[in-house]
Amino acid sequence: MSETVEKSVRNPGSDGGLRELERIVEAALFATDETLSIRQLQALFPTEAVPTADELKSTLESLTVFYQDRGIELRKLGKGWRFHTRDIYSEWIAKMFREKPPRYSRALMETLSIIAYRQPVTRGEIEEIRGVAVSSDMVRTLTERDWVVAVGHRDVPGRPELLGTTDVFLQYFNLASLKELPKLPDRRDLQDVAKDSNVEMPVLVDPESDGTVSDTGTMVTAEAQETESNFDHQSAPEADEVQLAEVIELPLSSSAGSEDLSSQDD
């Protein structure tokens, strides 16, 4: 850190110090495509010049206001902050990137939806909701993607793992917290959430379909006789979206429920 910059940052109460802090935070956020938390931003400064959490929050709020009429915006995602291009310019930006989104099965995205809304939830409880077995490969795909993680164990015989979503899940779907998930009565789907947030959705597939999209765009329900254990959840033809509300409205006979959604809001 240069002597001039260090002197300014050491005096954050001054107008010049505040502006310098803002520039440093702005530069750091531009330099990474990952979210940066308050703690990560504090780690950029020498011990004697570490800004307080309140100073950084104020700086981030100032930057948010500054960029509100620009082509990019500063957004809080999970526990961190990151710059994004604005949704209205996505069609221009998309022309720069020709890579196709990863392909995932409809069953896998249903499982992810259940975990997102009902967390913490066990694999057995997911199976009760969907009416079919949840394969180990499916859970492994979600954990390898870092969308899902074991957050504890249910206090019942066998102590099954409790699954919950991660900050990476929030960041991928441009959600500041789980409270931003669409309300179940809205009957919105994951594709809508992604579209509204300018996110490239994984392609969803029905493991028994011929790869065509139906006229009605309906999803496979729990009554469908799917054989998930033999299905490649990352390689399949294109198909239509999963209805989040329809997945979650299937009965759940366990104590897990949407009242646990606050676990990732801090």
Sequence-separated (6 or more) residues with CB below 8 Å from residue 247? 110, 113, 114, 129, 130, 219
pLDDT of residue 42 exceeding 80: yes
Render pLDDT for 129-143 as a digit per residue (tens, 0 to 9).
Answer: 888 888 888 999 999
Written as one string, the DSSP assignment of 51-62 is PPHHHHHHHHHH
Lowest mean pLDDT among 108-122, 191-205, 212-226: 212-226
Q: Looking at the chain, list the stretches that DSSP marks H as alpha helix, in order from N- to C-terminal side.
A: 3-9, 15-30, 38-42, 53-66, 90-94, 106-118, 123-130, 136-144, 167-172, 190-196, 244-248
Does this model's pTM top 0.85? My answer is: no
- Greater confidence (256 vs 119) lies with 119
Write out the two tokens for 169: 């899940």
Residues 6+ apart with CB under 8 A from 136: none
Pairing label, strands 80-85, 161-165: unpaired
In this structure, are residues 247 and 110 in contact, taking their beta carbons and an 8 Å threshold? yes
At residue 55, the pLDDT reads 93
pLDDT band at 221 (very low <50, low <70, confident <90, very high): very low
Identical fold, 3-94 and 103-255 = yes
What are the Cα distances from residue 242, in Å, to 54, 176, 196, 232, 247?
41, 22, 16, 18, 8
In eight-state DSSP terms, residue 239 is B
Residue 255 to residues 12, 175, 249, 263, Cα–Cα distance (Å): 49, 26, 15, 16
Domain ranges for the chain: 3-94, 103-255
Question: What CATH fold (topology level) applies to the domain 103-255?
Answer: Arc Repressor Mutant, subunit A (1.10.10)
Query: In the CATH hierarchy, which fold is given to the domain comprising 3-94?
Result: Arc Repressor Mutant, subunit A (1.10.10)
Cβ count within 10 A of residue 244 = 27
86-100, 140-154, 160-174: which range is least confident on average? 86-100
Higher pLDDT, 246 or 169: 169
Residue 208, pLDDT above cutoff 60: no
